[in-house]
Structure 1
Amino acid sequence: MNFFYLLLYNLGIRIYAAGISIASLWNSKAKRWINGRKGIIDKMKQQFNENESYTWFHCASTGEFEQGRPLIEAYHKRWPDHKILLTFFSPSGFELRKNYAGADCVYYLPIDTASNASQFIGLIKPRLAIFVKYEFWYHFLKELQQQQIPALLISATFRKEQLFFKWYGSPWRNVLHRFQHLFLQDTGSLQLLHSIGVQHATVSGDTRFDRVWQIAQQPEALNIIEDFKGTGKLFVAGSTWPEDERLLSTQLQDRANSWKWVVVPHEISRHHLEELRNKFREQSVFYSSATKEELAHKPILIVDAVGLLSSIYRYADMAYIGGGFGKGIHNILEAAVFGIPVLFGPNYHKFNEAKDLLTLGAAASVYNGTTLTEYFLQFSTQPPSFASVNRNYVNQQKGATEKIMHYLAEIN
């Protein structure tokens, strides 16, 4: 990266951090982002032993952690004496997994500056660094390469709209060469990388398939959900945002007598939970405070707890996955693995699994109340054999973790 681009990058990083700092005055998530990084290098100096080396896994947030988790656990099983450091960029990922038993240490990733990267890498002395999906931090990758520490990117996807493939994208293409190897989800990404001269990449698939398959084999029993569903049909709306909830609200209230409905919002702040309760009023009850009588008679259950969604899907007869009216849909595989039809909003084009399931006819994209009703009625009347379509798809796609582990065995 030449001086001009590096100057812009460093300026952009500092402006971003300053913006988050300002937002932290009123935004709780931004405040956690800032507070979690205060004095982080000094805290690490107190914990890390200069004679120890770590294998470093980095995830942006919760979704990427679930994507990387099968590899973390397979790595630990294969090399139990190797210490594991897990870092997050987002507060939501860190807060949920800061006590994750599969890692020896869990930290926020410091802001990507040359000084932070040098101190961070010097402290942890990683034998190996593994980044999940969309993490291209210039200074950290540069420091790893200079220290001759292998850096891998797993479950990555690339699109022609990204900076790497623009006429002015040369500095960003150079960042890709700082990885020793890139493991991709699909052949389209491989072809794009080949078009810009990146050859150190292979198609291994998406490790999320391995993770959701693991969950489906040993799903957690949730008595509250069992009691709520009873003998009826259950619709689960997972990782919803306000735009999703506005779309779903009419459907939920109109069909409250024939189906039971579980709503699992992506954000469970007190303000948002109160908004949901006001929207559904006397028809709804919160997961954390529901009585046996309420579970039996209320048609809508609002889940005000984290970490339950992947297990809740096992009880569903149909699911809606949120995010499709914003930046992009959340994890549809967590629902699909249980053999149920899935619905989601229109912003799904970055996700190969969504396009695949649409082609198979086991999913549908909705963009208003009319299409939601149309596909809800269509999927409600599908024969039992239809349930195997999504489950078989997930089963056929798993195996990425094993492929990556073969590579790690060669370099470790």
Structure 2
Amino acid sequence: MLNFIYNIILLLLIPILVPLGYIIAYRKGEDKDYFERIGFIKIDKNIEKSIWIHCASVGEVRSIKTLYSTIKREFPDLSIVISTTTATGKRIAAEELNPDVAILLPIENRWAISYLLDILQCKLFIIVDTEIWPNLINTVHKKIPLILINGRISNRSFKRYKMLQFIFKPLLNKFTKIFTKSPEDTDKFKELLTTEDKLKTLGNIKFLNFSRPEDLGIIPPNKRILVAASTHEGEEELVIDAFLDIIDLDIFDQLVIAPRHLNRIDSVKDLCTKKGLKISTLTKYNSDVDAVIVDRFGSLEYLYSLSLKIFVGGSIVNIGGHNIFEALQFKKVIAVGPHMQNFQEIFTLALKYNVVKVIENKKDLIDYLKSQYQNADFENFFKALEFSSREKLNPIIEEIRDAID
């Protein structure tokens, strides 16, 4: 009954959502493939056997690089289909992974999904991270095995899932297997499903995906910069105060602040100005200012590659931390706060091999900014990550093997 009501609502909304969505896509320059979202997808290849991997956007696409190459190596005759929710995600998938088929997901169009499963000869469907699309899940479940990898439920989402457990429990039960990011996530799924038969804790598969950032050519390579990345309210002030306290030591030429949410740029600008810093934005870069505010997406790895020191936010305030591998891949000891529970696995390894410094206050941050870390063991840190990555992928590979045999 719930599924019937859901689809009636979708049908009523289509006359509004389709043209509105097209206008938005046109304004963003993403109208070329827009109608794939509705289900108008042309497959111009003869696919004999495939698996379909769905990724929400760029982050999820890049997170499966190691998995993708492993599948290609283990099953050279198997075609791989990648769908994304965003146009940028599709472009990155095509450019960086080069799958046999890259498409935009026909959102909640069960007829299009069913048709594609047949024409692509799909044997297994993989959803990356916790993407819950009822029609997608119900349609796939009727035809082929469905697994979830990198499964995670935030504390905020968990409250909503529990309140609507009568909706989410049947959907989650449609998965053949759910591979979670942490024991804490496994416990949350277990509470929702009231069973652990489908669950296995693998850890985060996003790590060990090295990338070569595009040289944006904005900041001179000889500029000595301190990068504060993915910051939240309260963290910028801490970094600014530490930067100002050591400004006379001539360690850094500039502070670069990349707020986690771009809608906070104005407030970060106001804070910098209040503290007496001359500022510019990254898109209008000025070499002579004290601080640069990042006002565009997709710049972090470029900035990490140039930096002398890095602070990754979401960790002083209790957000749970953000991805630190993107910074650590450049073999630079980074600073984070104590709240790294969302990335506990890599954080624990980083502590073990002395490639991360935990700070709790301004004094800690100043000590980090002034110190050299000669005992950082990046070689064994990356070896440990590689071993962990291989171990994690084995159960997924076995699910694929069972599905295609």
**TM superposition score normalised by structure 1:** 0.71
Alignment of 1:314-353 (within 5 A): 314-321=305-312, 330-337=322-329, 338-343=331-336, 350-352=342-344
SS in 1 for 2:226: strand
Superposed displacement of residue 135, structure 1: 1.3
1:100 paired with 2:92, answer no
Note if contact 1:64-1:133 (Cα within 8 Å) is conserved in structure 2: yes
- Report if aligned partners of 1:13, 1:112 keep a CA contact under 8 Å in 2: no
**d(CA) in 2 for partners of 1:363, 1:14:** 53
Q: CA–CA distance in 1 between the matches of 2:240 and 2:10?
A: 40
Of Structure 1 and Structure 2, which has the larger fraction of its residues in helix? 1
Out of 67, 70, 75, which is 1:71 matched to?
A: 67
**Structure 1 residue 198: Cα displacement:** 3.7
Q: Does 1:228 align with 2:221?
A: yes
Question: Which residue of 1 is the match for residue 34 of structure 2?
Answer: 37
Output one character per residue of 1:94-151: Cα deviation in whole Å (capped at 9) or x when no partner: 354443343122222122143343344344332221111111222112211211x122
Query: 1:156 aligns to what?
Result: 151
Instruction: Tell me if structure 2 keeps the 8 A contact 1:343–1:363.
Output: yes
Q: How do 1:53-132 and structure 2 match up within 5 A?
A: 53-132=49-128
Q: Which has the higher contact order (CA 8 A, sep 6+)?
A: 1
* Aligned residue runs from structure 1 range 384-399, under 5 A: 384-385=373-374, 387-388=376-377, 392=381, 395-396=384-385, 397-399=388-390
2:149 maps to a residue whose letter is I
The AA in structure 2 aligned to 1:258 is I
For the pair 1:133 / 2:129, whether they are aligned, the reply is yes
Q: Which whole-Å deviations, capped at 9, do the CAs of 1:48-98 have from their partners, x for residues lacking one?
A: 446544321111122222222211121122223322221111344335444
- Does the 8 A contact of 1:10 with 1:113 survive in 2? no
Please give the secondary structure, in 1, of the residue aligned with 2:96: coil
Structure 1 unaligned spans of 5+: none
* 2:183 aligned partner: 187
Q: Please give the alpha-carbon distance, in whole angstroms, between the structure 2 residues aligned to 1:189 and 1:54.
A: 29
Give how far 1:332 is off: 2.3
TM-score in terms of structure 2 length: 0.72
User: In structure 2, what residue type is equivalent to 1:142?
Assistant: N
Partner of residue 174 from structure 2, selected from 178, 187, 192 = 178
Could you say if the C-alpha distance between residues 341 and 123 of structure 1 is closer, same or farther in structure 2, counting changes exceeding 3 Å? Answer: same
**CA distance, structure 1, for counterparts of residue 369 and residue 87 of structure 2:** 38
Alignment: residue pair count: 387
Q: Are the equivalent residues in 2 in contact too, given 1:21–1:34 (CA < 8 A)?
A: no
Task: Describe the SS at the equivalent of 1:209.
Answer: coil
Deviation at 1:309, TM superposition (A): 3.2
Q: Is the 8 A contact 1:32 1:91 kept in 2?
A: no
Matched, 1:376 2:365: yes
Distance 1:194-1:345 versus aligned 2 partners, 3 A rule? closer
Structure 1 residue corresponding to 2:201, chosen from 203, 210, 222: 203
The answer to whether the Cα contact below 8 Å between 1:154 and 1:183 also exists between their aligned partners in 2 is yes
Q: Is the 8 A contact 2:178 2:199 kept in 1?
A: yes
- In structure 1, which of residues 238, 250, 261 is the aligned counterpart of residue 255 of structure 2? 261
CA contact (8 A) 2:278 2:290 kept: no
Instruction: Note closer, same or farther for the CA distance 1:316–1:15 as it changes in structure 2 (3 Å cut).
Output: farther
Separation of aligned partners in 2, 1:184 and 1:146: 23
Q: CA RMSD in A?
A: 4.9
How do 1:4-43 and structure 2 match up within 5 A? 4=2, 6-8=4-6, 11=9, 36-38=33-35, 40=37, 43=40
